[in-house]
Chain A
């Protein structure tokens, strides 16, 4: 009997193990999916300009320097929250920000920039196909692209000032070296 006493501990140990697993699971953000494109070359694309603008945005623009690529849309509420953060970052001229206006209709994207300010070096209008090439599953998403035009980091959801200071700028500095 004594020999089998450890058997009675088994359910308790099993429960403790599961509880620990679930507790760790609580801390995992289920909404953020890992990108398949990290360390892969950015997709090739050529996007037309927003209505009223002259220049579009193409993959050739990303060569030779570190850049941020931000997907946004006028219908996206978190993007509205993120926009002032991008404006502030653009003023520092630390890193060029490129914009992909994801699935906006008509003038909506151009109006958005007119009212909220333009942090972007270049903006292209996307009907959705280029977004798929970037693995976008919900705007806003922001990518850090290195000098060779490879995607090095992806941020899902709106960028905050803290994200910029803690993650984006240190990474940009590292890639700039």
Chain B
């Protein structure tokens, strides 16, 4: 709540924000003057790794084991910040869990065993990828269900439209139509 207020206030007071709007950037790029700055920006974005909260003193000396610890850490939710993995979070509990993950890996656990160890203590919510179970069927099946409903709706719509189309004219109707049209065309022909 406090955080929200802070953001809100900054947003209102800061007058420098419109300086770098997208439109301005695009105009800049069209002039050709922006080539170097944009190239620099691109290179910077591509070559820098995302920032992790993993501290150097936590890391395992063996790079292969450390890589596995990162794999596991990306899967586990930090229960304090909720929408960050323990690798991304600098919360105290996330730090403790990272150390625990590395301890389990050092003790010879497989990645799955480490995840199971933490899941046994914190429940399914600690997994950033929810498991497919009876109470998550709607979560995983929801998109497919909505797609199916949409397909059903479209199918019905087109079937209705075809039925609403008028039937082709009978021979009698065509004859009458022709006489009406001919009668209408006659005055023009005379003129």
Residues of chain A whose beta carbon lies under 8 Å from any beta carbon of chain B: 4, 33-37, 103, 128-129, 132-135, 137-138
Contacts and interface: CB of A to CB of B under 8 A. Distances in A.
Chain A contact residues: helix, strand, loop or mixed: loop
Contact of A138 (B80, B100, B120, B121): B80
B122 A34 contact: no
A103 B100 CA distance: 15
Interface residues of B, number: 15
Given A33-B79, A132-B100, A137 B122 contact: yes
B93 A35 contact: no
Contact of A137 (B93, B100, B119): B93
B28 interface: no
B92 A133 contact: no
A137 B80 contact: yes
Contacts of B93: 128, 137-138
A129 B120 CA distance: 14
Given A33-B79, A129-B100, A135 B121 contact: yes
Given A137-B80, A137-B93, A36 B100 contact: no
A33 B119 CA distance: 13
B79 A34 contact: no
Contacts of A133: 121
A33 B80 contact: no
B64 to A, nearest CB: 25
A135 B123 contact: yes
B94 to A, nearest CB: 10
Nearest to B121: A135
Given A36-B124, A134-B121, 20 more contacts: A33-B122, A34-B125, A35-B123, A36-B119, A36-B120, A36-B121, A36-B122, A36-B123, A37-B121, A103-B92, A128-B93, A128-B96, A132-B96, A132-B121, A133-B121, A135-B121, A137-B79, A137-B80, A137-B122, A138-B79
A37 B160 CA distance: 55
B97 interface: yes
Contacts of B79: 33, 137-138
A34 B124 CA distance: 10
A3 to B, nearest CB: 9
A36 B123 CA distance: 5
A170 to B, nearest CB: 25
Contacts of B124: 36
23 contacts: A4-B160, A33-B79, A33-B122, A33-B123, A33-B125, A34-B125, A36-B119, A36-B120, A36-B121, A36-B124, A37-B121, A128-B93, A128-B96, A129-B100, A132-B97, A132-B100, A132-B121, A133-B121, A134-B121, A135-B123, A137-B79, A137-B80, A137-B122
A35 B123 CA distance: 7
A128 B96 CA distance: 7
A9 to B, nearest CB: 15
Among B79, B92, B121, B125, max chain A CB count under 10 A is at B121
